[in-house]
Amino acid sequence: MHIPDGFVNAPVSIAGGVVAVAGLALCSRNLGPSLRDRDIPLAGLAAAFFLVLEAPIFPIGVGTGGHLLGGTLAVALLGPWLGPVVISVVLVVQALFAGDGGVTALGVNAVNMALIPAVVGYPLILGLRKVLPRTKIWVAVTTGIAGFVSVVAGSILYSLEYAVGGATAVPATTVAVTTIGTYSVIALFEGLVTGLIVAALLRLRPDLVRVGRHLTRANA
């Protein structure tokens, strides 16, 4: 879902940059009270993992590529403040050194892939956790569902951004159908991978999962 340079116009890129900077500033400001000692090394390991997770990219024909995102997994492990920061760092590295996503579109990409999981995915996890059994397996299921929803939401926002400020000759309808359709399928894999990783960590190291901190091994 990386938007390349020149795919959306300057106003949309600037607006995305403003929203991304404001959102990440809010995340940074709230990091202090929520940061745990184990979060710093975990953030480094998570960033490396997400670089690998997003590496297999295949073109979908309308200026973007299909790949797993990892945003919901990031907020599930690191929380809604540190998670977006880690994903944003990954996006910067990808844009500067791997050619994945444009430098001018970094703000828009950060909104779609780093902030949407914190704004949509994390609250959804907390909401589902209130109505579903508070066990490890159900926490894993909720993160999987949130992973699916976050990816679909990001693809819809991507399509809206192009509809407002698309800078190529590709019709907005084509972009929307192709992107949302492709990422709806990817979202299924995203949800499955997210749920399985969270389930494994909850069984082995539940202290590493922010959304499962209420659990103990007795809940397995």
Reported as a single tens digit per residue, the pLDDT across 128-153 is: 999 999 899 999 999 999 999 999 99
The identity of residue 6, as a single letter, is G
For tokens 């994390």, the residue is 122
Q: Which two tokens stand for residue 217?
A: 């091994």
Rounded distance between C-alpha atoms, residue 118 and residue 128, angstroms: 15
Least confident of 14-18, 20-24, 40-44, 148-152: 40-44
- Cα distance between residue 200 and residue 20, in whole Å: 32
Distance in angstroms (rounded) separating the CA atoms of residues 198 and 137: 9
Q: Which amino acid is at 111?
A: V
Q: pLDDT band at 155, cuts 50/70/90?
A: very high
Question: Is the whole model's pTM more than 0.85, yes or no?
Answer: yes
Cβ neighbours for 149, distance < 8 A, ≥ 6 positions apart: 120, 121, 124, 187
Bigger pLDDT: 98 vs 164: 164
The reported pLDDT for the residue numbered 200 is: 93
Average pLDDT over residues 28-47: 78
pLDDT at residue 40, as a whole number: 77
Quote helix, strand, coil % in the chain, to nearest 5. 75, 5, 20
- Reduce the secondary structure of 113-154 to three states and give it as a string: HHHHHHHHHHHHHHHHHHHCCCCHHHHHHHHHHHHHHHHHHH
Average pLDDT over residues 110-130: 96
Domains (range + CATH), the chain: 10-219 (1.10.1760.20)
Q: pLDDT tens digit string along 203-212?
A: 988 888 989 8
Check residue 84 and give its pLDDT. Answer: 95
| Cβ atoms of residues 158 and 179 within 8 Å | yes
Collapsed DSSP state (helix, strand, coil) of residue 48 = helix
Instruction: Compute the distance between CA of residue 204 and CA of residue 122 in angstroms, rounded to an integer.
Output: 22
Q: How many helices (H) and strands (E) does the chain have?
A: 8, 2
